[in-house]
Structure 1
Amino acid sequence: MTRRSVHTDKAPAAVGPYSQAIATDSLLFTSGVIPIDPLTGTIPEADIEVHAHQVFRNLRAIVEAAGTDLSRALKVTVFLTNMADFQRVNVVYAEYFQEPFPARSAFQVAGLPLNAPIEVEAVIAL
């Protein structure tokens, strides 16, 4: 099995000792993506829809840098600091993923890096 790191400047750099994603022969595993604006390096003050759009744009940039796209997503995991945001995130999610939708889990967590309200990771077919 080959293994390579994936990086793009169109998404925020890792905020720790990890890769934006790792590609194997057939699968891409993304790290958790938070709503950092890659142009400013910050998480803007905004509502959950704005944050969710930023997360999915960042995720899409990483996936495309690996040579694939979100239509090939197999599994998506969504972490929220407030489960009350779940339905609002679903509306945004549906703009980035189409049927057949990937398998998905969603969890409420006590906290996320940089106090982000949402983080998303995915497994994508190459």
Structure 2
Amino acid sequence: MFIKSFEAENGPAAIGPYSPAVKLGDFVYVSGQLPINENNEIDESIELQTKACLENMKKLLATQNLELRHVVKTTVFMTDLADFDKFNEVYAQYFEKPYPARSCVQVAALPKGAKVEIEALVIDTLVYEANMKNKSCSGCQGSDCSGCR
């Protein structure tokens, strides 16, 4: 089969019949990450829950030598959009420009009583990055750059 599933040894286990993440070629699909912390609990505040979701995503991606910089799209599910500003404060600490594309929707409820869940689409560019580095190319993609051709 072409699809490879994976999970983080030190991350929360799936709570149903699904893979925490699957990889097909360069595409990685990360299932919704719940805010289960290192004590296998869910903190009360949206800030700590957001941090836990993103830390769990980082652990999962690290199993494939990937980082949050490889995330191209997230979908955020929140039980109360009144928490959106607080959520954004924490989210902004994890991503840099260019930020991933993102959708955010309010839902009636999330598993385990969570306030937030984050899923992601990730592109594994490690092979391309290594090729560019070997060609001494900065990836500028400019019309006058001979290293990018």
Shift of 1:41: 2.0
Q: Contact (CA 8 Å) 1:23, 1:66: kept in 2 or not? A: no
Shift of 1:10: 2.0
Percentage of identical aligned residues: 38
| Residues 78-116 of structure 1, C-alpha deviations (whole Å, 9 max, x = no match) | 100000011111111111111000100000000001110
**Equivalence for 1:71:** 69
SS of 2:65's equivalent in the other structure is coil
Q: TM-score, normalised by structure 2?
A: 0.80
Q: TM-score, normalised by structure 1?
A: 0.93
**Equivalence for 1:26:** 26
SS of 1:79's equivalent in the other structure is strand
- Map 1:1-126; keep pairs closer than 5 Å: 2-37=2-37, 39-44=38-43, 46-126=44-124
SS of 1:19's equivalent in the other structure is coil
Find the aligned partners of 2:64 and 2:108 in 1 and give their Cα distance: 31
Structure 1, unaligned runs of 5 or more: none
- Indicate the structure (1 or 2) with the bigger Cα radius of gyration: 2
Find the aligned partners of 2:64 and 2:85 in 1 and give their Cα distance: 30
RCO greater where, 1 or 2, for CA within 8 Å and sep 6 or more? 1
Shift of 1:122: 0.2
Shift of 1:40: 2.6
Find the aligned partners of 1:67 and 1:60 in 2 and give their Cα distance: 10
Q: Given residue 40 of structure 2, which amino acid in structure 1 is its aligned partner?
A: G
| Residues 41-99 of structure 1, C-alpha deviations (whole Å, 9 max, x = no match) | 2213x211011111110011111112211101110011000000111111111111110
Cα RMSD of the aligned pairs, angstroms, is 1.2
Q: Given residue 27 of structure 2, which amino acid in structure 1 is its aligned partner?
A: L
Q: Given residue 76 of structure 1, which amino acid in structure 2 is its aligned partner?
A: T
Query: Number of matched residues?
Result: 124
Find the aligned partners of 2:32 and 2:25 in 1 and give their Cα distance: 21
